[in-house]
Structure 1
Amino acid sequence: MDPFPGRSHMARLEKVVAGIDFSDASVAAVRWTSRWFAPDAELILVHVLDVPKPPAFLRPLLPGAEDVLENAREGALQRLRALSESLPSVRKRLEVREGKATERIAEVASEMDADLVVVGEHGQRRGLRDVLGSTAEQLVHASPVPVLLARGQGEAAPQRLLVPIDESPMGERVLEWARLLGERFGAQVMVFHVLNARLLWQMRLVSSERKWQELGEEMQRGAVDWLRERVRAAGFASDAVETHVALGEPSHEILAAAARHGADLIVLGSHGAGAFERVVIGSVTRAVMRGAFSPVLVVTPSRD
């Protein structure tokens, strides 16, 4: 049974939820989204209150919890209104919730039948984020819709999309989103596949040097043919898409390709072949989210 009844599973950009913690990164993310990424969408600004409970011995000295929460709620609404008035989007809605940020943002996305969740990079300490996991990573677990991590965005809509796919069922949805965005922005799309180098090394163990080289060439040709067929089946115009196959470790090759081709948006699935669907974020996706210097759109599974 679909836990989000009534939702269309087709890629669309009609309603966007933006998580706002009033940091520079979250404000920059929503401004970029409103002006460049989804200017025609309804924009739902969400701030989540997480008011800590004081220890019992301090409670007599402090205002009541309800008073603190109400003051915090009103203050957040005022700041959201001021931010909203500065955004070019015509349709806007404000939401203030209480609890854990990732859970409440995902909750709003579900309630509002949103198509996308946008967040800015949480803080600047990447080493700490690598240990604890970012808000965006946690949202990928919780969100019923794709999550856009906005970082390093320029003052323009994306023009060069890098779209890594593998054989997992997620590939179809990733290509659907890439096609939507490519057409919307008039962007050049590079669909990318990485052949894991370990496959070739395994073949080398049981093959002669010449046979090993021939197998490597055959693998490359087979991967290119497979990739082109996936692109054709997804309905891309031939002049709007490139295909490329690399050999190596997937996350490293994806990040290297993004830098080499100047990608200003990476679109990939929340996990690839072999990951536990809806339970874990794939290791490649996690590495790309942590290592990319451009916005990353993580496409989540269709919640059928």
Structure 2
Amino acid sequence: MQILIPIDGTDASQRALDFAIDMAVGMGATLHVVHFTNNETDATDAIMDDARERLVASDVPDEPELTTITVDVWNADRVGEEILATVAKHGYDHVVMGHHEDGPVERAVFGSAAETVLRAEAVPMTVVP
């Protein structure tokens, strides 16, 4: 099994990464960690360094992949579409994503990448609150 875990550095994303690590260890799965951004900065490096540290401290069976993907248009729906395109391109079997509750204004303006992926019903998905 191949698991995709998109991360963004939020607490919800970190909880999802920990869950995905446990899932990969328990199932003997391959884990691919990806961070989508519109501009690589020191924050991007910090997000990936944190993920790398969590992976090194775990017993993930195969060498996990860590990738940063740059997207031109930056909103949650676009990130959700990029996640779906990544799933289709690489044939992932499962997606694990963090999701935090936003207020109605934030949801109306930004949407939710997790919601975009979930509604597409293109791949089995676990949403970690």
Asked whether the 8 Å contact 2:9–2:47 carries over to 1, the reply is no
Shift of 1:227: 3.9
Pair member with larger Rg: 1
Amino acid paired to 1:247:
T
Provide the residue aligned with 1:285 in structure 2: 114
Counting matched residue pairs gives 115
Contact 1:271 1:284 in 2 (8 A): no
Tell me which residue corresponds to 1:246: 69
Q: Determine the C-alpha separation between the residues in 2 that align with 1:257 and 1:183.
A: 22
Q: Could you say if the C-alpha distance between residues 182 and 283 of structure 1 is closer, same or farther in structure 2, counting changes exceeding 3 Å?
A: same
For 2:85, the aligned partner's letter is A
Partner-residue secondary structure (3-state), 2:127: strand
2:96 partner SS: strand
Match of 1:264 in 2: 93
Quote the offset at 1:180 in angstroms: 0.7
Q: TM-score, length-normalised on structure 2?
A: 0.75
Aligned with 1:232 (options 39, 45, 52): 52
Task: Deviation per CA, 1:83-122: give whole Å up to 9, x if none.
Answer: xxxxxxxxxxxxxxxxxxxxxxxxxxxxxxxxxxxxxxxx
Distance in 2 of aligned mates of 1:265 and 1:186: 13
Shift of 1:271: 3.4
Query: How much has 1:163 moved relative to structure 2?
Result: 0.2
Give, as a single letter, the amino acid of the residue that structure 1 aligns with 2:89: R
Percent identity over the alignment is: 30
Shift of 1:220: 6.7
User: Are the structure 2 counterparts of residues 256 and 244 from structure 1 closer, same or farther at C-alpha, using a change threshold of 3 Å?
Assistant: same
Which structure would you say has the larger RCO, counting Cα contacts within 8 Å and 6 or more residues apart? 2
- Counterpart residue number, 1:297: 126
1:204-257: CA deviation from partner (whole Å, max 9, x where unpaired): xxxxxxxxxxxxxxx27862x334312233234574311111111311211111
2:15 to 161, 173, 177: 173
Q: 1:271 to 1:255 in 2, by over 3 A?
A: farther
**Unaligned ranges ≥5, structure 2:** 72-77
What is the alpha-carbon root mean square deviation over aligned residues? 2.5
The alpha-carbon deviation at position 193 of structure 1 amounts to 0.8
Taking the aligned partners of 1:181 and 1:190, their CA distance within structure 2 comes to 12
Does the residue aligned with 1:192 lie in a helix, a strand or coil?
strand
- 2:117 counterpart SS class: helix
1:182 matched to 2:11? The reply is: no
Give 5+ residue unaligned stretches, structure 1: 1-158, 201-218
Q: CA deviation at 1:293?
A: 1.4
Cα offset for 1:259?
1.0
Residue deviations 1:235-292, cap 9 Å, x none? 34574311111111311211111111111100001238xx34xxx6x52111010124
Secondary structure of 2:37's counterpart equals strand
Residue 74 of structure 2 aligns with which residue?
none
Amino acid at match of 1:259: A
TM-score for the superposition, normalised by structure 1: 0.34
1:38-49 equivalences under 5 Å are none
Tell me, in whole angstroms, the C-alpha distance in 2 between the residues paired with 1:229 and 1:170: 17
Letter in 1 for 2:120: G
In 1, the alpha carbon distance for the partners of 2:7 and 2:121 equals: 16
State the Cα deviation string for residues 130-150 of structure 1 (Å, max 9, x = none): xxxxxxxxxxxxxxxxxxxxx
